[in-house]
Each structure stands twice: as C-alpha cells, then as structure tokens.
Structure 1
C-alpha cells in the first residue's frame, strides 16, 4: 500500500559500536608502558582492533546465545561424556590461544610478558565465557611445577599457541587446555571439607572417587583437582584421556544453567576410579594451589576492569549520539555526572589492575617485595573491584534506557557476567578475610603495601587523611572479622588513590579523591560533587569508530 505515513522511520537511534580499537584506552596503554611491556603495544592494538569488528562481536554473541550441549552417550548407548560447542566458540578460543592469552607467558622470558598478557586479555573483550578455560590454563602452570616431571611433559604443550580441540592422548596433541575441579557441594570455598578420595597405586598413580560440584570447561585436556589422602587434602592432575588414548573415568552428570557466562560449559562430574597424578606433596594440596589462586584472582580483576571499560564505552557512545529534551545526552549535566563517575570507577580499576599485573610479572621473576605487595593488594583489589563491577554495569546499562535491558544490546550481557567474577576464587567474605589473613600471618605484606601507597603521601590532603584512617583501623585487631569488609575496602581505595595521584590526569585523581576518599559522594554513581573538571575525564572514555 502507498500513502501511509512513515511510522517506522528510524531516527535518533545510536549507530553500532563497531570499527574501533578496544585497546585504545589511555589507562591501559599508560600502564602497559609503565609496567615494562610497551614492546607489546602493537599486538595489544591488533587484538583490540579485532575485538572491535562486527565479526568478532558476532562470535561472542553467538557463543553466548547458543550455549554448549552435553552428550553423555552416543546414539548407540555408549558413554561418551562430551560437550558440543558452536563453531563461534572455537573461533574465540583459537584467537585467544593464538595471541598467547593462555599460558604462553610462562615460556616468554622477556620482562613484562605477564603484563602484556594482562593487557591482551583486557583488550579481547568480546566474550567472557571462553576466558574461563584461557584463565585456568594460565593459572595451572605454576601449580604444575610442583611436579617437575609433569611440568616437563606438559608445560610446552600448555604454552604452545595452537588451539587443538578434541579428546585425544594429550601428548599426541599440538596444544593443551587445562581446567580446575576443586569445589564440592558440601564445602564450596572450604576445600578442606572435600570428600573425594585418592588411593595410591603400585605404578605411582592414584585412583580418585568423588563428586565435584563445579568443573568448568569440561572438554579441557587435563584438570587440577583436590582429593583426600590419609595425609589430608592433596593436589592431583587428572587427564581427560589417558596415555594411549583410553578415556579417563570422569562422568558428566549435567551442565549448570547459569545466570551468565553461558558460552562456557560448567559441569558436575563424578570421578569413577579416575586416574590422577600427584602434584606436590600429599596433604599439602591447598599450599600447592596458592600460586594458581594468585593468577586466577588477577584474572578476575582484569575481567572486571574489562567489563567496566566496555560498559563505559557503550554508555558514552550512546550518550554522544542520542538526543533528549533538545540536547545530546552527553550535554545534559546529570548524564555528564553519571558518565564521569563511571569513567573514574573504570580508570581506577584498570590502573590498579595494571600495577598488579606488573607486580605479578616481577614476583614471578623472583622480586620478593613485589610478591609481598601482590599478596595483599591483589586480595583487597579482587574483593573491592569485583564487588563494584555489577554496580557499575547496572548504571551503565541504565544510560541506554530501555535498550540497555534488551538482549540485542550487549549491556545486558555484561550485567549478567560481572557477578561471577566476585564469586570466582573466593566470594566477598572469603577474599576480604584472606587479605586480613595475609596481614596477620605475613606482616611484611602490609609493610610492602604501605611502602607502595606512601609514594603518594603529600600529593593531596584528602589522600593523606584516608591513609591515616586506614592506619587507625589497623591499630587494633579487635572485632577484625566483623570489620573485614570495611578495612579491606579502605585498603583497595587507598591503593587506587595512590596510583591515580601518581599516574592519572589531575582531573581523574581530583574526582577520585573528592568522592571515594573524602566521601563527598552519594549512594549511587553519578553523585560527584560540583566544581570538578569533568571534560578531561569524559574525553578518556571516547573511542574512534571507523
């Protein structure tokens, strides 16, 4: 029919956010240089430009919308215990492994290799789910080194930049992916409550029997797991396929139906006389996996920082193209306050993340002072930044209005993803109490922390007052567990404030000190006080869309 009014003419809608470089983040790039990995900038930008393409973003959306499927048996009734993924998932994995986001830095002797990996992990922001096996593969290597023979056999394959999917004898493959299988339904974070047993065999292997509540990425080639021996909780490496090609006795019961992270399969499994190899000493399994926990906690901070930055860029892009009440949203004072507050939160998280990536790199290379700083500052930052992630995502989503609540837009996916990173590797209380445990058992970690943050002393009276409040909180350990979150939040904020005062533009540091440290701030984001210079803060959140 003709002559009808144009009721479906599209205008005042925002153009797609494609054709940009996700690595074009000043806080990221400045941190990359500062922490000794400026040499990696070309590859970080290469990956960032790929992440900004419609094709790569499509891989992420498809892998999320068509989640993995579990096949316990084949059509003839044979037990197979396999998970099927859409091709987009494998494209994501191939890209991540090819760019060394997994265990590759462990085979790279250049100073800053682990910093470069953190920056690339941050830039490759198209899907969080496949980042889980990538992160676990990265974290398995230092734990595996507790058994030099196993490390010699498998580390070259774990660090190789080839994604070789499929269930085969691991030593016949060109590259390996590793997972972790720690928690059980009765214990959760309390892994000492595990009931899975491991019985030694004459050939030096162990037979494992038990039920694991969360085993993510079950198509990985091998898993670190914990089980009870007569000496106590012990760490083992359990291959999916045994040498010679026979499947190991791991039975998949179901895949979890999760709030987010849907492209990643998370399963319940049973060890039905599965074969495992000892990693470390019997009874010292928790100690064996401590270094692994440091790596995965850092990845939680990287992932949350990445989610914050992605949500901020989306909100800013929307506000620069959408008009309301006669002006662009970005010109509205209330919206400018919200966007600037989101930007300050994001920049503080990214700056802290890059400092911790540098501490991690230097700790791995034997710097004891940096290892001490990492021990405390990472636990505190993991607690606070990952707590802030969902709050940040919700506010950024709201900047898009109703569109933000629609699954066609990526804001909803970010919102569903970020709670996971506060749960993984110790939810809020576990992370906060672990920070306090570090102070109590390893006092030198607090010395290293104060040595670091005091580098900003005298730069801003609001920072000096916040530092004094923190020191006062730590003069007494009465009721310290009751005050755990309060104290650890202050540890994280003072750490962030010190870094921003030393390294960020003055407008960013001023806004952070006024709101987060001097507490001239409301209960919601978008409550920065008047008198701040918001324009330089907002400019750092803008990306060029080509």
Structure 2
C-alpha cells in the first residue's frame, strides 16, 4: 500500500481493501447444489447446454443486464404524426438478452426438445438466467408456460410451434412474419385481482372460435409480446382467449396500452394497463372453462416464481461470499470472523434448500405425464414451494446486503436490484394467502396430493431425528385425519415446506442436510439469519455454497 509520501501529486489516498470484480464467474461450475439436483431429477443429458449458459450468465449476461435495467422501457402511444402505434421501446440490450436466452432454450427447451429431463434442464436454465437478469424472466416464463394452454386449440398449432422455437424476433410485426414468438398474459382487472371470476371483460362471438373483446386489464405483462392469453366473460362464463398484437387479417389489433406500471423493481421488463376496443381474439378451450384451461400455465409460472426466488438467493449469497472473502476488517477477512461465518453458513443452507425444492418440483412436472404420483406431488409441492421460497427471498437478500455494509446499498453491487426484485415472486401468480388456500384445497379435494407428499417425507424417515419428530404430526394432516383450519394454513405450509426441504436434502445425501434439519427443524433457529448452533461447521457449509 502506498504511503502518503509515495502518492502522485494531488492524489488524496490509495485505493485498498476493495474486492475484485465479481464477473466473470461461472454460475454452473460454482453451484454444486444445482448440478447435483439436475442429475438427481433426470436432466443429466443437458449438462453441456447448462455449462454453456452458466458461463454466459455469470459474464456476458451480467454485462448486458446493467443498461437493460438502468434504461427503463418507454411507452410510445403515438408516432410523430399522431398515428396510434401502442409500442414499447427498450434498450437494445433487452433484445440481446431475450435473443440469447431464447436461443439457449430458457423459454422453449421443454417443448422443442421434449426428451425426459427437458423440464428439469429448462428449469435450471431459468434459475441461471434469473440470477443475472430477472426482468426478462417474465416474458420468458410466460412464453414457456403458454404451450400447454395452446394445445387446447388445434388451430393454434403454429403459435405453439413458434413459441417453442429457439428464435427471437423483437420486431413489431405480425406473427405470421416471425420465426419465433413470445407470449404474455392478462388476467387481473381493477375490481378482481386474484378473484378472476369477477372479471368484466366481455367476449362476443363473431363466428366459430373468433370473438371480439371489450374491457380492460389492470396488469398486462410484457405488452410487446406477440400474443396474450387473457380471460373474458363469454355467454357461457369466464373463457380463455389468445389475443394477438396484430389482427390475423391485417393491421394492429384493437388493444390500447394506457400506461406502463411504475414498479418497485423488474425494471428491464415492461408491465402495462390495457383496454380492449373490440379486439380480435381466438377462443382457447371451452366457453366457461377459462380457469381450468389456463391453470396449466399458472402452475408452470408458479414453478418459475420458485426458481426465480431461489436464483435471487443464490446470486445474493455469491455476492456476499465474494465480498466478505476479500474485504478485511479488524485485522482479517470479514469471512473469518465468527459471527459473519454463522451468517454466511446460514445463508448457504437456505439457498441450497431452496434450490433442491425448486428443482425437485421441476422433476415432478417433468415426470407427471408418465407418473400419477409425481403429478400429484407437483400439484401440492408447487403451491408449498411458491409460498415458502418466495417468502424467504426478501429477508435473504437484505441479509446479504448487510454482509457488504454500505456497498450493498449501492447499485454497482447488484444487491439493490435483487432487493427490489425479491418481493415480486411472492406477489405474482398468487400471493402467499392464495398459495396456502391452494394447499388446503388440494388436501381437501385431491387426497392423492397429500399421499404423494407424505410418501416424499416417509422416504427420508430414520435419517434424522429432528425430521422424524416433524413427520408424524404432518402425517395426520396429509392423510386427512386432522382438519386444517384456514386461519392456520400459513403455519401448516411453513412446516410442510421445511420438512420437505429437509427430506429432500437427506435423501440427496447433501453434506449440509443434518445442519439444515438441526437448525430449521430443531426449534433453535432464530427469526433472522446467523443463528446457527455452534457445533456446525460454518466454513465447510459456506465453502459448499460457493467455492472460494
């Protein structure tokens, strides 16, 4: 370090004790928990693809994401001559990010390469992508999740093929003129929120499966998508429709972007309010069966909420470990102080458990068409994981910010972006209460869901005393012997989530499984992070989290 006498003229100080740049970092190679989970859940055939995207996500994608977030999308309702154009302008990096993600399969791998394990690999791609660029995860997720809905309308086969294709085309032109398509969705209206049956948008049949829609959507996600799955009231009740940006017979469709939402985070992505003025749409599924038709999309987007929150935790952990391993305080690196070791190990435990659960649900979805028990597990575990992992993300990211101190509150650290993003996944696609009610509904109406979850827990019996003590009380609820009161469902879902995470880590043979069960199921863990018992090996847990 330069002494004051050795500094150049007018230099007030030497820059010292600062960590090196985080990037480039290989997000796949660093993540043992992800690699093991992908192999365990059947995605091993896609490892080469995941290796490539993990290296890109920790380098090129991070670089592109900076301006995509800093230069927010802008609505242009009219051109310079007064013509209505309803277009959204993005920074060029947004389109570069979308192109790279779609070409690598983040949106369509499950459908254009439908081999066993494809859903698992696509989930891992989404997890890697979200760590570096969460905003574009919204249109990527909706494009992926639209495919099973479009299957309900054979006439939309070309839409499904192009949505699954590894091609991105950001031009505002008709779907027929593009090699690949993106899809958004619009369900929420001012008066309804999660209660979509209160929707007021009116759908009037004009011949066959064609309708015209009059109404509005209070949240209209990714408004520059090529088409949107929306709900409207047809004569037989709430119905699902595909509403394209361009009318199939020429010209722009009659959807009017009223304004863009000024959001807490998710800055690279546009969200809007829209009105339909006799907008053309094609019915998807039967009239009056709108919720049943679109529910498959909702299930897949909820999986991506889990993956996104797990990815945010992972990146926050990586940033915290990178900083504390290089930054010195009171004579040694921050990461070598006892209390900081506890915090970092606690974050690493939480991150690995979140990753294990999210990828396990992806594996269940992958096997669901061939295995009824896996389908039942996916049904209930999706709601449990969506509730718990997404709830944990904001507190997790904030704890990681504390590890960096004031630097964690500055945009260059990436953590402010993650912190703004962290609450979104717990709200989008059904808030916490909706997920808990979904678990209650599944246990009451689909006994096979409770049985599948109990089997998942029972498979880990005898491996940890703390887990064994938790399973019996849960078994009564999962088997229907104990009625669950609605007002207590958050408590029950929390217990189910922790037991399921512990069981998954134990069955996987994770070296941190016992520490997770001891801390999360043993009753000694505090409300925050950094309250692990002394007997745990903090250094080894953190090293497994992200290698030094």
TM-score (norm 1): 0.96
Deviations 1:179-225 (A, max 9, x none): 10110011111100100010001354101000100111101000000
- 1:354 is displaced (CA, Å) by 1.1
Deviations 1:71-93 (A, max 9, x none): 00001110000000010101110
Q: 2:16 aligns with which of 5, 11, 17?
A: 11
- 1:269 is displaced (CA, Å) by 0.2
In the alignment, is residue 128 of structure 1 matched against residue 128 of structure 2?
A: no
Q: Is the 8 A contact 1:466 1:518 kept in 2?
A: no
In the alignment, is residue 240 of structure 1 matched against residue 256 of structure 2?
A: no
2:455 maps to: 451
1:153 maps to: 158
- 1:4 is displaced (CA, Å) by 5.4
- Measure, in 2, the Cα distance between the counterparts of 1:502 and 1:477: 27
Q: Is the 8 A contact 1:136 1:180 kept in 2?
A: yes
Q: Is the 8 A contact 2:109 2:119 kept in 1?
A: no
Deviations 1:292-348 (A, max 9, x none): 111000000110111111000110011100011111111100000000000000000
- Measure, in 2, the Cα distance between the counterparts of 1:498 and 1:535: 23
Deviations 1:338-379 (A, max 9, x none): 00000000000001111111101111x332111100001111
Structure-2 change in CA distance of 1:479 and 1:360 (3 Å) = closer
Report 1:358-373 matches (<5 A). 358-363=363-368, 365-373=369-377
Q: Count the aligned residue pairs.
A: 540
1:300 maps to: 305
Q: Is the 8 A contact 2:152 2:293 kept in 1?
A: yes
1:137 maps to: 143
- 1:45 is displaced (CA, Å) by 1.2
- 1:405 is displaced (CA, Å) by 0.5
Q: Is the 8 A contact 1:184 1:211 kept in 2?
A: yes
2:531 maps to: 527
* Aligned partner of residue 201 in structure 1, secondary structure: strand
- 1:3 is displaced (CA, Å) by 7.1
Q: 2:177 aligns with which of 169, 172, 175?
A: 172
2:522 maps to: 518
- Measure, in 2, the Cα distance between the counterparts of 1:220 and 1:45: 29
In the alignment, is residue 379 of structure 1 matched against residue 383 of structure 2?
A: yes
Q: State the superposition RMSD in angstroms.
A: 1.5
1:389 maps to: 393
Q: Which runs of 5+ in 2 are unaligned?
A: 1-6
Q: Is the 8 A contact 1:104 1:158 kept in 2?
A: no
* Aligned partner of residue 180 in structure 2, secondary structure: coil
Q: Is the 8 A contact 1:169 1:244 kept in 2?
A: no
* Aligned partner of residue 273 in structure 1, secondary structure: strand
TM-score (norm 2): 0.96
- Measure, in 2, the Cα distance between the counterparts of 1:42 and 1:245: 43
Q: 1:229 aligns with which of 210, 227, 234?
A: 234
Q: Is the 8 A contact 1:510 1:532 kept in 2?
A: no
In the alignment, is residue 334 of structure 1 matched against residue 325 of structure 2?
A: no
1:41 maps to: 47
Q: Which runs of 5+ in 1 are unaligned?
A: none
Q: 2:424 aligns with which of 420, 425, 445?
A: 420
Deviations 1:446-505 (A, max 9, x none): 001111111100101100011123235566665611101001111111110100111143
